[in-house]
Structure 1
Amino acid sequence: MKTTLIAAAGAALALSTISSAPAAAQSAQERLDARYDRALAAGYKALMLCSGIANSERVGSDRTPEQIHEWELTGIQAPLDDIIRDLPYKIVRGEPIEFRSPKAGFVRHVEVIWVDDMPPRIAEYRGRNGCAVLPIGTNPGTLTDKTIQMRLRLPVLPPPIVESSERLSVALRDKTMDIIERDHARFQETAQLAFSDKYGAGSRTTAVLINQNKRMRFEGFADGYSRNTPQRTWSVAKSIAATFVGMAVMDDAADAAQSAGLGEGEDDPRSAITIDHALRMATGRYSDTAGNRTDPLYWGGTTVDERARNWPIVHKPGTVFRYANNDTLMAIEPIQKWIDDKKPDELAEQLGMFDTSIERDWQGNYVLSSQVWASGADLMSLGQLYLNNGVWNGERLLPENWVEYVSTPSGPQPEGTDWGYGAGWWTFQLTRGQCI
């Protein structure tokens, strides 16, 4: 096995000091919290490096660690942002396979050192399933390079460009972008706004694709990106989760009104929580923070079952809105076996999403609240599916009323905002027929 070592300068320095404050000035809880933050930061870095590089290489779109540091490993919530950059890391690759990219061999796993008295944080590559962050001290698996190769597919070529293209090099936000432009006068200004602060100070755009009447009118990308470069979708994954639920309903494998399977039996009030309640963030369950931070699951190495399933109920289901990652995770759990049987990558390809990796926790549970990597072209296909009322390439993939269902803000709604929430989708409607 070949190992590629990429580490920050000064990696040989001891990492036992995890805070600039003297140890005597910190309470036991402060020391524990500082150590935990460092463990989370290392898990975050390992997973982003693994997913960003390996998922891209799978579809023939190379990304470098430097690009991951620039885009995925900046602007993170405090206090992780101040910790992540200087953590030393190692990318472990297998032996190159003849006639198969990448030439350096598949990413096997990524290790990030966080303290000097514990094993490194590890994110393991699992082929088409992307990467999974492991509990601290867990050894990576023993997938062979041939097994990984069998789990992959050759990159799908992008659809043909209908119109002749003119390539321009345009400087936007101090970034040189390679733009394929079909209609300069019509789309140039829109693209420039997308790559500016028009949509909020500090916002960053990596890809703009404009499709009209089945023609690609415009493509623009930040440095290092292309139409097929997978990017972490974050909470757009919740809309993909709702789409999978719709496909299961279409297949008579689920009903949005059925129980989400929570609780310990019929006497447990949580058994009344339905898939619909979970998609609409209205389960009535407690969550410790608004938005329900799931750091232990995303970066810490716990599982969906450990972290998302067992929160207590504090409101009657369907009466209070509480945006929570845990709810989306529970909406998916009743159809997990169906997804397994259908194969998530094949479901994604049915939607025209050929560059998508749907990642799981290390025990195989789907993390469809956030942990999906998809390209700009994939997300454009997802949007087109909904514009087509659930029909793709002439085939109905979603029930006829599903678009209306996910976009209708029925039930309790978020407070203090003009945005409404449907079933896995934010909407510009506050209630049925009331648009902002």
Structure 2
Amino acid sequence: MSKAKKEAAASTSGYGADLAPGARSPASYAANGVPSRGRRFAEPDCPTRSPFQRDRDRVLHSTAFRRLIHKTQVFVYHEGDHFRTRLTHSLEVAQIARTLSRQLRLDEDLAEALALAHDLGHPPFGHAGERALDRLMSGFGGFDHNAQSLRVVTALERKYLAFDGLNLTWETLEGLAKHNGPVVGVEHEPVRKVIRSLEAWQSLEPERWASGEAQAAALADDIAYVSHDIDDGLRAGLLTLDDLRSAPLAGGVIAALPAAEAPGIRSRLTYEVTRRMITLLIEDVVQESRARLAALAPVTPDDMRAAGDAVVAFSAATAVDLKALKAFLMQRVYRSRRVMDVMEEAEAVIARLFARFLTDPDALPETWRAAQQGLSERARARVIADFVAGMTDRYAIDQHRRLFDAKPELR
């Protein structure tokens, strides 16, 4: 093994190596270990920020990011002020992604940019909105929120004089496209289509794994949504602490909690479950990933991409338990009658809006009406899907009331 590889392997062993936990410098295999592959449209470097800090800031200041405040995570906004939205979820993912990246000596700014951007393409009403749009677009190329996130940052955000989109670095676009792994096979065709549209500039190398930072952001998403959906499920009364005693991962956390006796302690126990779940899962990723890094001994970011498998990962046992926990939440929370009643009506709202805009272009706002003029039906459908996907929950409800003189009861 070369001296450089030995040093890289040594840097991944031990909690703090020779650095304090809060002062861990990025390793040579971090995305900032080499210069960025650049931006689609050439721009001067920023004198005060790295390329990935600049990407993060562009995402944070985007219109699509602000809209996430009124887009459903699990519960529609009017069901309670304390439930997560897509915005608060994205912020929570970003915090966990930074923690993982710091411990694994990855670039925190790139991981944060990816975490903040990963849900920009989500339509209103969460996965119900995505299901509805995918069904409505089945004859026009389908709809996928990951592909839509790429479309947002490469074309749909229109605020800069020199280009459409946010003109993010190659590394951030790659991470958005492939944060869940290589995009091969028919199920990834919507993302691959967006990737192909960028090939005249550079390939995002869809058959390879993305950077370690993208892998960290993807696991941060899993950690955040599982832990916080348990929290929201408890607060909504869809779950009890006793229900969770038999659930994978959560059961061990519940067993270690004190018995609830003092007044008001149950709300504190709810938060304690979330806190301990996040800690448990982060520790598992850090330990497993350090072992994989030590075995791989990567020297450059491309060594991470060429590994042939995820380098940042849950342990095998935790991955099995996490899959079972997701199945538990699917049955008890996501497909509970209370949630499904709301989501079925939400899907109907999306369907009615889409059909109206497709058959009556005059119902669209002026800018969007002009954008679809003279296009084929397939291209018009994509413009309408872009418009509907960009709506917040409450804007979709308002549009439904305007066009159908009826406000849907999403309760």
TM-score range, shorter chain: under 0.3
Q: Which has the higher strand share?
A: 1
Q: Which has the higher helix share?
A: 2
TM-score, normalised via structure 1 length: 0.24
TM-score, normalised via structure 2 length: 0.25
